[in-house]
């Protein structure tokens, strides 16, 4: 029997989430008062530092007293607290329907829904704007960014209606994503991370000044490969099948799996994308804490 998406967070989990913060590096300080420290040019709430004048800076920002002493132009930067827009990007292609043998009713998509609900809670308690983007064989599903409890409920409703279907669509069908996610926004990806087109998209977003972080959502069976007898392995997106003996395949599989994960982490790190792994058999806050400590949303 299919388990219900676990979007109603239990009180103990909500309490543990209170210790976590989404604090992106690229917050621009241009959208009002919130909980994210950011460097904004011009007047602000608290002086942060001086920097050299750059063409295009407002002349009113120049510290003329410092110019009189140094004969050089310097601009005052201020630190202010500013809300951000958080986007959740879920890879809901067919591979998200995979589950572990020990818990067949709980899929990768279910865990992504739970992680998404936790991230929504963090954005809500910080007063941030947030929206959702989900990608599967149907293309791009979008919940425009908003704020508050009603917005959370709208995203929850969309999350509950998601199904793991199809393959990653072509880039033309993802064009609305670029119209919504603006420079300086924080985008949090949730998926298995093994679709090269998905990783390319994350790299393109990061290079276009969107702050990107990734949670690779994986199963315990992928980590441990517990198959010891003959087993039919099937790719849920291509339908390709492999019939083999689990015991004889295990060592080679684990080596290749570890290499693939290391290669992905290096690829993301080279693009300035923080990442962490969320395992289906572990509490969601473990992965969230690891991601935030590595710079995802910090």
Q: Domains in the chain: how many in total? A: 2
- Domain that includes residue 158, residue range: 11-27+83-293
CATH at 167: 3.40.50.410
pLDDT one-digit tens code per residue, 264-289:
999 999 999 999 999 999 999 999 99
| pLDDT at residue number 295 | 65
Is residue 232 very low, low, confident or very high in pLDDT (cuts 50, 70, 90)? confident
CA distances from 30 to 40, 45, 129 (A): 7, 13, 13
Is residue 223 a part of any domain in this protein?
A: yes
Of the listed ranges 24-28, 107-111, 115-119, the least confidently predicted one is: 24-28
Whole-model pTM?
Answer: 0.80
**Where do the H-state alpha helices sit in the chain?**
11-17, 64-70, 108-126, 149-160, 175-180, 196-207, 220-224, 246-270, 284-293
Q: What is the pLDDT of residue 47?
A: 54
Q: Which long-range contacts (CB under 8 A, 24 or more apart) does 103-111 make?
A: 103/280, 103/281, 105/1, 105/2, 105/3, 106/3, 106/280, 107/164, 108/164, 108/192, 108/217, 108/218, 108/219, 108/280, 109/162, 109/163, 109/164, 110/3, 110/5, 110/6, 111/217, 111/278, 111/280, 111/284
* In a shared domain, residues 71 and 135: no
Interatomic CA distance for residues 50 and 47, integer angstroms: 9
Question: What pLDDT was estimated at residue 240?
Answer: 82
* Amino acid 30: pLDDT: 41
6 domain-assigned: no
Q: What pLDDT sits at residue 58? A: 63
- Nearest-angstrom CA–CA distance, 188 and 88: 5
Note whether 139 and 271 are same-domain residues. yes
Same domain, 19 and 114: yes
**Considering the domain boundaries, does residue 256 fall inside one?**
yes
pLDDT tier at 176 (50, 70, 90 boundaries)? very high
Q: Residue 3 above 70 pLDDT?
A: no
Matching residue, tokens 């067919």 = 94
Residue with tokens 């621009």: 28
Do 22 and 54 lie in a common domain? no
Give the Cα separation of 21 and 39 in Å (integer): 18
pLDDT of residue 55: 58
């Amino acid at each position: 029997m299919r388990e219900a998406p676990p979007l109603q967070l239990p009180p103990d989990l909500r309490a543990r989430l209170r210790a976590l913060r989404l604090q992106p590096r690229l917050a621009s300080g241009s959208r009002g008062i919130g909980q994210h420290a950011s460097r904004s040019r011009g007047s602000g709430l608290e002086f942060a530092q001086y920097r050299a004048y750059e063409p295009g800076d407002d002349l009113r920002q120049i510290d003329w007293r410092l110019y009189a002493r140094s004969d050089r132009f310097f601009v005052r930067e201020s630190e202010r607290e500013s809300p951000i827009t958080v986007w959740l990007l879920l890879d809901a292609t067919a591979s998200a329907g995979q589950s572990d043998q020990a818990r067949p009713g709980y899929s990768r998509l279910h865990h992504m829904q739970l992680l998404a609900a936790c991230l929504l809670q963090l954005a809500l308690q910080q007063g941030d704007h947030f929206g959702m983007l989900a990608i599967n064989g149907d293309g791009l599903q979008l919940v425009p960014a908003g704020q508050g409890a009603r917005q959370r409920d709208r995203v929850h409703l969309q999350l509950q209606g998601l199904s793991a279907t199809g393959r990653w669509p072509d880039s033309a069908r993802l064009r609305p994503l670029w119209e919504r996610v603006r420079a300086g926004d924080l985008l949090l990806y949730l998926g298995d991370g093994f679709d090269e087109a998905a990783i390319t998209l994350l790299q393109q977003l990061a290079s276009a000044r969107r702050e990107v972080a990734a949670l690779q959502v994986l199963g315990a069976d992928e980590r441990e490969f517990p198959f010891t007898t003959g087993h039919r392995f099937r790719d849920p997106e291509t339908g390709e099948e492999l019939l083999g003996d689990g015991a004889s395949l295990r060592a080679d599989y684990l080596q290749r799996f570890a290499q693939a994960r290391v290669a992905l982490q290096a690829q993301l790190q080279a693009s300035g994308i923080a990442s962490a792994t969320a395992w289906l058999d572990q509490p969601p806050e473990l992965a969230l804490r690891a991601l935030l400590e590595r710079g995802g949303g910090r």
